[in-house]
Structure 1
Amino acid sequence: MPLLTAATAPVDVRSFGAKGDGRTLDHDAINRAIVAVARTGGTVLVPAGRYLCFSIRLLSGITLMLAEGAVIEAADPARHAGGYDLPEPPSNDVYQDFGHSHFHNSLIWGDGVHDVAIIGPGRIDGIGLTREGPGARWKGGGKNAGSHPASMRGVTASEMQQLEPDRSLMNGRGNKAIALKNARRVRIANLTIARGGHFAILATGCDDVAIEGLRIDTNRDGIDLDACRRVTIRDCQVNSPNDDAIVLKASYALGETRTCEDVTITGCTVSGYDPGTLLDGTRGRTQELAPDRDRVTGRIKLGTESTGGFRRIRIEDCRFLRSRGLAIEMVDGGVLEEVTARNLSMEEVTTAPLFLRLGDRRRGPEGTGVGLLRHVSIANLTATGIDPRYAATIAGLPDRPVEDVRLTDIDLRYAGGGTTAEAARVVPEARDGYPEPSMFGTLPAYGLYVRHVRGLTVKGLAIATDAPDARPPVIVEDARDVRITGLRASGEPVVRDGRNIRIDAAS
């Protein structure tokens, strides 16, 4: 981890001309302080005050310390003279969107740096950042299949233009609070981040990273780790109703495939309350839908971009509040294996509590094939207030099943109310669709839906509903080697096209 104290005293940015009055642009002064301290390494201190800034450029050996009462405020090029650093070339934005593909157009950024830290207890306010940006240029072989969730089919062209503006409009605008590319030995700790733009934190190709004790209340993604290795996210609160709270990816943003591996997420709380209401304490519930027209997001997810694959991921002792559930998605090739999650509690789950999906979008360079999703273990998961449309789902493909999943002590409580017509629904394959629980529509099972799976062991599964539900509690379809023991649920499980399937009720 980077050195957080230096032999010399911290250097105050005011000694380089920063005013901290909320009116003067202070990024040049802060950057002068960083350049001076980087000659030997040390701490750049941002004392109490409000520092209006465009891009701040991290250098190796720097700890940027925001003192109590310090706020770095993102300037707005529509209101303030100047702009953010331009998005750097070359662009590898064919297979992921603009926001994932550029780093310099950010409030605070570091490219190729090592031994750096950004620490609190101060605040970053991204009020001048944009949360929007162009989508990926990939067109899915002309079909553009899987570019957007099925829930967005009703979005008009003008609405999409607002969500994904043209690239020509992005120069000078900033869309990330903190962006790090190819960084080594990084610590981000004890900060508050409000209104982080497209990403409050985006780290791509970074190794040996510690993210600790953050409070993030943002208008799009919270923490995104893309193709990172040896990372710990600990004791963070992330509220992000419009997109994912903590998400791991393995995209092609570096122009090469790189595995996301050895990541631990522990002791974190994610949520989908109204923007700003985590920080003000009101935890509002006015907003019902995210921009993708599904219910609010705020979850922990692996995917969607998966080209590089995932290995040795641990998620433990985390809470999900008014958010979508845990999602593990492999649709762009790559191999996902050795993922464990345990001690997860969920309240007011806005889609499925658990969603494991192996699909065939193949948004990647030539030669990208169908991926693998295997060796996943989830234990001690409790979820209440679950949207009754979306059972916990494990869904592969007919020719590429999900393999070796273990569920232990799973307790799910749904709203109920499913009908006999819903029980008779035929679930579409949606082979190349964007992975979301809503891609399949309302499911014919109310608790657990399993399709195209080889090797599933469930020990202890309780499924309950607040209102009667006419659907079966469990459907297993095109599966082999499935053992479910300790099932507590109303109704009889249904097995279709199964071999070596055993489902035993709790005694």
Structure 2
Amino acid sequence: MKVINMLTKLNTIIILLIASFSCQSQVLEMSVLDHGAVNDGETLTTKAIQNTIDKVSEKGGGVVKVPKGVYLCGTILLKDNVTLHLEKGAEIIGSYYLKDYYNIDPFTDAVGQKRGNCLVGAKDAKNIAITGKGVINGRGEYMIFGKGERSKRPFLVRIVGCTNVEIRDVVVRNSAAWTIHLFQSKKVNIDGIRLLSQSEQNGDGIDIDSSQDVVITNCDINAHDDAICFKTTSPVPTKNCKVSNCLLSSSWGAIKFGTESMGNFENIEVSDCYIYDTKGGGVKILSADGANIKNLNIHDLEMNDVEMPIFIRLGSRLRTYRDAEKQAVGSMNGIKISNIKIHGKRYKEWRMAPASTIFITGIPEAKIKNVRIENIDAKMYFAGTADVVDKVVPENERKYPEYLKFGVLPAYGAYIRHTENIQIKNFKINTVEQEQRHLIKIDGVKGFKLDGIYTEKDEGAVTPIAIANSSDTVIKNVNISGSTSDNHIQYDK
């Protein structure tokens, strides 16, 4: 009997534990429609959505459901442990009026604009998410600005100082400024979103700014400005980030580090992405304001219709942000770029004609070190003439670090200057038109190794490889059809 009583008590305890666990596992859900939101697309419903978010957070967290319909909003802020879930057919649209937004973290960007307003934001929150098959539409092309207000146009999604963030499956579009801005945030996962932001010239896609442990996967990004941009508008580094399996298109850069670059960039991997219809650079790695860049691994990319495929720049603009102290000139040490297939920009909408395939330049007092580029297969569409082969390329140490500032380069395959220990291995390049510039030119380089280059020498072209003011150079496995081995290299003072 005692045994039976003990078993009965044990069963009771188990049942109570199961019931308790079942209750705990139920996720709190609240619909914005049950708390006063209006989905007619005309009634400003910011307060109702915000009240729903606040109530869910106050109760310990859960899901704020946005059912089918159109919801007109100004700034709404996510709070701790809240998921904003937009059901299929649901659309949050931004107000036309700046008065309906506010600034959750003011700062001034690289071109002097005061920024920080947003449509959907979060500050110092944890365990937040935006999910679902719905749409967040900033309607940036329709916003109304008073005199001097344009620089205050709102970002679409702004995450500031947050931890454990997920953005999944939603469509984000037509931001009035940057589309998704992550600032000083940690443990962020962005997966499967579609980003369409062509309504504003400064419409970046995703900006990872002084943030860590960020993963971006399976995204389709078509942005007017940089598609994915790593920034540091504070001395806090951007590090431990991965981008993979994304479609990227941009009217400027597809994958970009900088230009805002006070803090370091460390341990970042970009892989398995398709870059297309990009009028600026495919991969742009820029330290202008003191950033030390190290341990970048960029591999297995395909670029189609891209003007300047690879641009790496170390400069000394040294702009400051957020009242931080000015940094010393930065550094680059440990960059690997590999397995890149390139189709250059066709003859339309050129920003600079002709462009080059690879452009790497430090400055005399700060050299780029330890860059390895291998397995590049490029087909470029340009017709450079021999009158630029002796051009003195400007230093532009303190200018905005954009390749357009340097003009047409003396080499179409790679122009490399002010560097140490640069390796290029297995570089195949062909041009559609007859190219008369150097294939490769290095200037002020210590420790350059070229192992395996394959191309055709166009009739009338100058010596393929030009070496100036450089030392410790190793060049082997040069395969240039139509050219004899004794005229591959030109040495200049």
* TM-score bracket relative to the smaller structure: 0.7 to 0.9
1:240 pairs with 211, 214, 223, which one? 223
Distance in 1 of aligned mates of 2:474 and 2:212: 39
Aligned to 2:247: 269
Aligned CA distance change for structure 1 residues 94 and 192 (closer, same or farther; 3 Å): closer
SS in structure 2 of the partner of residue 221 of structure 1: coil
Name which of structure 1's ranges 398-407 and 416-425 shifts more when overlaid on structure 2.
416-425
Deviation of 1:334 (Å): 2.2
Q: 1:411 to 1:437 in 2, by over 3 A?
A: same
Cα offset, 1:93, TM superposition: 2.7
Larger Rg over CA atoms:
2
- Asked whether the equivalents of residues 58 and 110 of structure 1 are also in contact (C-alpha less than 8 Å), the reply is yes
User: Which whole-Å deviations, capped at 9, do the CAs of 1:478-499 have from their partners, x for residues lacking one?
Assistant: 1011111111123421111110
- 1:500 counterpart (462, 468, 472): 472
8 Å CA contact 1:240–1:298 kept in 2: the answer is no
- In the TM superposition, 1:330-345 aligns within 5 A as 330-345=287-302
Going from structure 1 to structure 2, the CA distance change for 1:475 and 1:298 (only over 3 Å counts) comes to: closer
Partner in structure 2 of residue 41 of structure 1: 61
Shift of 1:463: 1.4
Matching of residues 234-383 of structure 1 within 5 Å:
234-241=217-224, 243-252=225-234, 257-272=235-250, 296-323=251-278, 324-350=281-307, 352-364=308-320, 365-383=324-342
Aligned-pair CA distance for 1:184? 0.4
Cα distance, 1:8 vs structure 2: 3.2
The range that moved more, 18-27 or 462-471, is 18-27
TM-score normalised by the chain length of structure 2: 0.84
Instruction: Considering fraction of residues, name the structure with more strand.
Output: 2
Q: Which residue of 2 aligns with 1:440?
A: 406
Q: Aligned AA for 1:180?
A: I
Residues in 1 aligned to 2:227 and 2:110: alpha-carbon distance in whole angstroms = 22
Q: Distance in 1 between matches of 2:181 and 2:25?
A: 27
SS of equivalent to 1:14: helix
Displacement of 1:19 after TM fit? 1.8
Tell me, yes or no, if the aligned pair for 2:109 and 2:260 is still in contact at 8 Å: no
Amino acid at match of 2:31: D
SS in 1 for 2:412: coil
The structure-2 alpha-carbon separation of the partners of 1:97 and 1:207, relative to structure 1 and needing over 3 Å to count, comes to farther
Greater helix share, 1 or 2? 2
Query: Which deviates the most, 359-368 or 384-393?
Result: 384-393
1:116 aligned onto 2:128: yes
Rate the CA distance shift 1:358–1:454 in 2: closer, same or farther, 3 A.
Answer: same
Contact between 1:75 and 1:129, CA under 8 Å: does it hold in 2?
no
Q: Distance in 2 between matches of 1:462 and 1:132?
A: 50
Residues 1:132 and 1:408: Cα distance change in structure 2 (over 3 Å): farther
What letter matches 1:108 in structure 2? V
Return the offset for 1:198.
0.8
Could you tell me how far apart the structure 2 residues matched to 1:184 and 1:378 are? Answer: 30
CA distance in 2, matches of 1:416, 1:221: 28
- Contact 1:129–1:175, Cα closer than 8 Å, also in 2: no
Correspondence 1:417-432 to 2 at 5 A? 417-432=383-398
Matches within 5 A, 1:443-458: 443-458=409-424
Matched, 1:61 2:81: yes
Question: Any idea what SS the aligned residue of 1:30 has?
Answer: helix
How many angstroms apart in 1 are the aligned matches of 2:419 and 2:469? 11
> 2:441·2:467 contact (CA, 8 Å) conserved in 1?
yes
Unmatched tracts of structure 1, length 5 or more? 134-161, 273-295
SS in 2 for 1:467: coil
User: Are residues 1:27 and 2:46 paired?
Assistant: yes
Residues 411-445 of structure 1: CA deviation (Å, up to 9, x unaligned): 12111311111223221111111111111100110
What is the distance in 2 between the residues matched to 1:33 and 1:343?
Answer: 44
Indicate conservation of the 8 Å contact 1:130/1:198, yes or no.
Answer: no
Higher relative contact order (CA 8 A, sep 6+): 1
Please report the TM-score for the alignment, with normalisation by the length of structure 1: 0.82
Amino acid at match of 1:93: T
Query: Cα deviations across residues 383-417 of structure 1 (Å, max 9, x unaligned)?
Result: 11246323311100111110000011011211131
Matching of residue 16 in structure 1 with residue 35 in structure 2: yes
Deviation at 1:96, TM superposition (A): 6.7
CA RMSD of aligned residues (A): 2.1
Q: Is the alpha carbon distance of 1:47 and 1:120 closer, same or farther for their aligned partners in structure 2, counting shifts above 3 Å?
A: same
Distance in 2 (CA, whole Å) between partners of 1:131 and 1:231 is 31
Structure 1 residue 98: Cα displacement:
3.9
Query: Structure 1 residues 97, 16: closer, same or farther in 2, change over 3 A?
Result: farther
Consecutive unaligned residues of structure 2, counting only runs of 5 or more, are 1-23, 346-352, 458-463, 480-493
CA distance in 2, matches of 1:378, 1:130: 40
**Partner Cα separation in structure 1 for residue 123 and residue 394 of structure 2:** 43
